[in-house]
């Protein structure tokens, strides 16, 4: 987390935690027909209520927010998190997996006919976040929509470049088969957007165990689903202070494991540059 991000983070944490539960849990606000789905780990249980509050306080709320947790955490949840449970926000427990893929795979099985939006558990999402994704979904109902994207990049000979050299996109509305949605910014998946292997743990734990973004990218590619960057991407979410002690991002980028996992996926599914 950058030094300049600490002050905005603390200000927003104080603001969000001061919002009354009645307002956050109210179903009187306009509702969008999408389900926000996410997961978390033990070290972030003390701060994930901030992420949930940032979504519940959006001017247009989602139909539902589902937090998937391992069943071993049932008796470890802080009151500030369970107090948010209501008609919109719910916590569901499962016993099979502890990987980040949980944020989407269980909701893919449970909510077959609804667009799903994934997000991270250590960020504060801007007030326009949900609407920016949904507005594009209305225009492009069959596309995966992402606020943040990288371009999977190869050199002139067709060799996959290190992940750090995959271009970070700044241009809105880009569509490309090599476009990789980055989960932290929020990704909207329309119904039937992913290949049938999407929920197969034997495959994603073998091929991309630490890279759910890459796994779901491959699943959209195999399905032939268009991926596009949001036409009006909102500002980047604000990191929650104290949430970054454990992060897959650090390992995947520093050790270039994203590159290795994408190569494994391409080899298995016989995808050429």
Q: Write down all domains in the chain, each with its CATH number in brackets.
A: 3-269 (3.90.550)
The rounded distance, in Å, linking the Cα atoms of 245 and 250 is: 10
pLDDT at 245 > cutoff 80? no
174 CB-near residues (< 8 Å, 6+ apart)? 149, 228, 229
Is 109 strand, coil or helix? helix
What mean pLDDT is reported for the chain? Answer: 94
Express each pLDDT in 98-141 by its tens digit: 999 999 999 999 999 999 999 999 999 999 999 999 999 999 99
> C-alpha distances in angstroms, 52 versus 26, 81, 120?
14, 8, 10
Q: Beta 227-229 vs 31-39: how paired, if at all?
A: unpaired
pTM of this prediction? 0.95
**What integer pLDDT is reported at residue 253 of this predicted model?**
58
Within 10 Å of residue 81's Cβ, how many Cβ atoms?
21
Within 10 Å of residue 139's Cβ, how many Cβ atoms?
10
Express each pLDDT in 40-59 by its tens digit: 999 999 999 999 999 999 99
Q: Beta 149-151 vs 238-239: how paired, if at all?
A: unpaired
The rounded distance, in Å, linking the Cα atoms of 105 and 115 is: 13
pLDDT at 250 > cutoff 70? no
């Amino acid at each position: 987390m950058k030094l300049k991000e600490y002050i905005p983070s603390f200000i927003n944490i104080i603001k969000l935690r001061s919002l009354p539960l009645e307002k956050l849990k109210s179903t009187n606000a306009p509702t969008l027909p999408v389900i926000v789905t996410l997961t978390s780990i033990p070290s972030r249980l003390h701060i994930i209520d901030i992420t949930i509050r940032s979504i519940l306080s959006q001017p247009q709320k989602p139909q539902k927010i589902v937090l998937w947790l391992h069943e071993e955490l049932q008796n470890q949840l802080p009151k500030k998190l369970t107090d948010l449970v209501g008609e919109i926000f719910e916590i569901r427990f499962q016993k099979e997996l502890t990987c980040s893929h949980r944020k989407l795979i269980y909701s893919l099985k449970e909510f077959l006919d609804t667009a799903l939006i994934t997000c991270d558990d250590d960020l504060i999402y801007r007030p326009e976040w949900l609407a920016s994704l949904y507005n594009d979904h209305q225009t492009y109902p069959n596309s995966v929509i992402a606020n943040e994207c990288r371009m999977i990049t190869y050199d002139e000979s067709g060799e996959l470049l290190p992940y750090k050299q995959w271009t970070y996109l700044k241009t809105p509305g880009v569509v490309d088969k090599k476009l990789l949605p980055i989960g932290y910014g929020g990704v909207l998946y329309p119904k039937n957007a992913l290949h049938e292997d999407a929920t197969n743990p034997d495959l994603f734990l073998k091929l991309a165990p630490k890279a759910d973004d890459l796994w779901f990218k491959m699943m959209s590619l195999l399905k032939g689903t268009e991926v596009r960057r949001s036409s009006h991407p909102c500002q980047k979410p604000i990191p929650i202070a104290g949430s970054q002690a454990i992060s897959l991002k650090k390992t995947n980028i520093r050790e270039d494991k994203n590159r290795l996992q994408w190569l494994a996926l391409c080899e298995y599914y016989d995808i050429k540059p």
